Amino acid sequence: MHDVIVIGGGNAGLCAALTARESGASVLLLESAPRAWRGGNSQHTRNLRCMHDAPQDVLTDAYPEEEYWQDLRKVTGGVTNEALARLAIRDSAHCRDWMRRHGVHFQPSLSGTLQLSRTNAFFLGGGKALVNAYYRSAELLGVHIRYDAPVARLELSQGRFVAAHTGDERIEARACVVASGGFESNREWLRQAWGQSNGEWVADNFLIRGTRFNLGVLLKFLIEAGADTIGDPTQCHAVAIDARSPLYDGGICTRVDSVSLGIVVNQLAARFYDEGEDFWPKRYAIWGRLVAGQPGQIAYSIIDAKAIGRFMPPVFPGVKAQSVPELARALGLDAAALVRTVSDYNAACRPGSFDHATLDDCATSGLTPPKTHWARPIDTAPFSAYPLKPGITFTYLGVVVNAQAAVFFDGQPSPNLFAAGEIMAGNVLGQGYTAGVGMTIGTAFGRIAGTQAAAAAVRGKMHAAA
Ligand SMILES: Cc1cc2nc3c(=O)[nH]c(=O)nc-3n(C[C@H](O)[C@H](O)[C@H](O)COP(=O)(O)OP(=O)(O)OC[C@H]3O[C@@H](n4cnc5c(N)ncnc54)[C@H](O)[C@@H]3O)c2cc1C
């Protein structure tokens, strides 16, 4: 019998498997995906947010615990467990040495990456290189890894883990770490959570930015088995991505960053929100939900030649035209309606000093909704447009854990069932998001869960021997 089963081979599961093995446990990692698609959403990541009191290798200046905590408190609107949040924040101060030992390399932040050089350490080669390094290290340490091994259910006895079921197999272990992500790839569950609007299932038009394997099977199982839950099932992190992106695994390059430089219209060629409300890094994560609220869950970012070169070019080229009516036709929009929207906007733009690096004084006047910064007339050909759809990053619903990462049933921590990563991230991140915190949570709680599972296995052995 294995000491520890880890379910899910993304960042959190790999951190758990590695630490459990380092603690002396025999470890079996069960991953749904085939080897080529291993790494879950973690393979798409680029960085983790780290506290530090002085400049460190790739991190500039300082980012003290208190500032990190205040940032987290702000974005979650207080929907966070402070003790668990601080635990993750403190772990981020020293986890990188451990990560390096397992083959992860870091690099300074890339240009055009939302000004993160002070707060976020970037993985050299991105998340794909990180998960590959962890898998390599896990293999070298003797972690048994099985791909194509989706776990359908667990066997529990009064909150105690007994066995995992994959295919026809029943696999016993002394302890278990569940690190199987959220339910963002389960389109039926998203449908239920988002419901219908004007007769259409809103979620049917969503794209999934990451893996197709995060179906929430074990999250659902644990909820039905009586695990205490945290987070709102209807909440998810969604950004506006290029509507031409694949249904799964489009990753980071499908995000469209031109929004604050122009206007955004819906299918009726009407504007619906202030595109210049705040700096794009602070606002990009609200646009998935905004687009989800529009008919057909589609919108179009429209810019003119003045905006070209001022945002990170997305993976798909913009739709180009020499005039606004021509652009409307290329997008399948009503040309007269788009001309009216652009003319009204242009007429409302007040003169100012355009500066995309500050909250400048280029604003509209007398327009609803207003554009409060970076409002310049759209008047210089060629005109470009990017179609936008909501791209789901992850869901927030999860299971309650404590500082030992133990899963709770009826207010009581399980003695040998632990959770790490997205499946418990709602304890720290009840809503909102700040870049890089997903990997901070997964790394901290993955390592805690692995250590605790190994200790639980030792207790299990002693109990059996007594
Ligand atoms: C495009 C994109 C970019 C992102 N960028 C960043 C970033 O730069 N920084 C950051 O902090 N966060 C980022 N995130 C969020 C980040 O990906 C998550 O917070 C983090 O990866 C969660 O790690 P995890 O191990 O919990 O889940 P995952 O990495 O998703 O791993 C879950 C694993 O469980 C497996 N699994 C699921 N169900 C089962 C089952 N029943 N049986 C067996 N295996 C199962 C899946 O196949 C998967 O491999 C990004 C997300 C996306 C989609």
CB within 8 Å of 463: residues ≥ 6 apart? none
Residue where one domain finishes, among candidates 363, 391, 419:
391
Q: Are residues 57 and 36 in the same domain?
A: yes
Structure tokens at 411: 């207010």
| CB atoms closer than 10 angstroms to residue 257 | 19
C-alpha Rg value of the chain to the nearest Å: 24
Take atom 27 of ligand 1 and give the residue whose Cα is closest. 181
Q: Mean of the pLDDT values across residues 268-279? A: 96
Q: Are residues 248 and 324 in the same domain?
A: yes
For residue range 370-419, list pLDDT tens digits in order. 999 999 999 999 999 999 999 999 999 999 999 999 999 999 999 999 99
Take atom 15 of ligand 1 and give the residue whose Cα is closest. 438
User: Is the confidence at residue 214, as pLDDT, over 80?
Assistant: yes
Q: Using an 8 Å Cβ cutoff, are 329 and 335 in contact?
A: yes
Taking the model in full, what pTM does it have? Answer: 0.94
CATH classification of the domain holding 257: 3.90.700.10
Residue 182 CA to ligand 1 center (angstroms) comes to 8
Q: DSSP assignment of 53-121, as one string?
A: SS-BTTB-S-B-HHHHHHHHHHHHTT-S-HHHHHHHHHHTTTHHHHHHHTT--EEPPPTTSTT-TTTEE
Check if 120 has its Cβ closer than 6 Å to any atom of ligand 1: no
For residue range 37-63, list pLDDT tens digits in order. 999 999 999 999 999 999 999 999 999
- Closest atom of ligand 1 to CA, residue 250: 1
Residue 432 CA to ligand 1 center (angstroms) comes to 17
CATH classification of the domain holding 26: 3.50.50.60
Nearest to 26 by CA among 200, 239, 172, 231: 172
Q: What is the pLDDT of residue 117?
A: 87
Residue 219 CA to ligand 1 center (angstroms) comes to 14
Take atom 11 of ligand 1 and give the residue whose Cα is closest. 436
| CB atoms closer than 10 angstroms to residue 290 | 19
- Closest atom of ligand 1 to CA, residue 39: 49
Residue 357 maps to a domain: yes
Q: DSSP assignment of 384-422, as one string?
A: EEEEEEEEEEEE--EE-B-TT-EEEETTEEEEEEEE-GG
Q: DSSP assignment of 2-47, as one string?
A: EEEEEE--SHHHHHHHHHHHHTT--EEEE-SS-GGGTTGGGGG--E
Q: Mean of the pLDDT values across residues 139-164? A: 98
Q: What is the pLDDT of residue 80?
A: 93
By residue range, what is the domain housing residue 98?
2-181+216-234+396-465
Check if 214 has its Cβ closer than 6 Å to any atom of ligand 1: yes
Residue 193 maps to a domain: no
Nearest to 238 by CA among 193, 205, 284, 191: 284
For residue range 217-269, list pLDDT tens digits in order. 999 999 999 999 999 887 788 899 999 999 999 999 999 999 999 999 999 99
- Closest atom of ligand 1 to CA, residue 49: 11
Check if 48 has its Cβ closer than 6 Å to any atom of ligand 1: yes
Check if 47 has its Cβ closer than 6 Å to any atom of ligand 1: yes
Q: Mean of the pLDDT values across residues 278-301? A: 89
The total of structural domains in the chain comes to 2
Q: Are residues 404 and 447 in the same domain?
A: yes
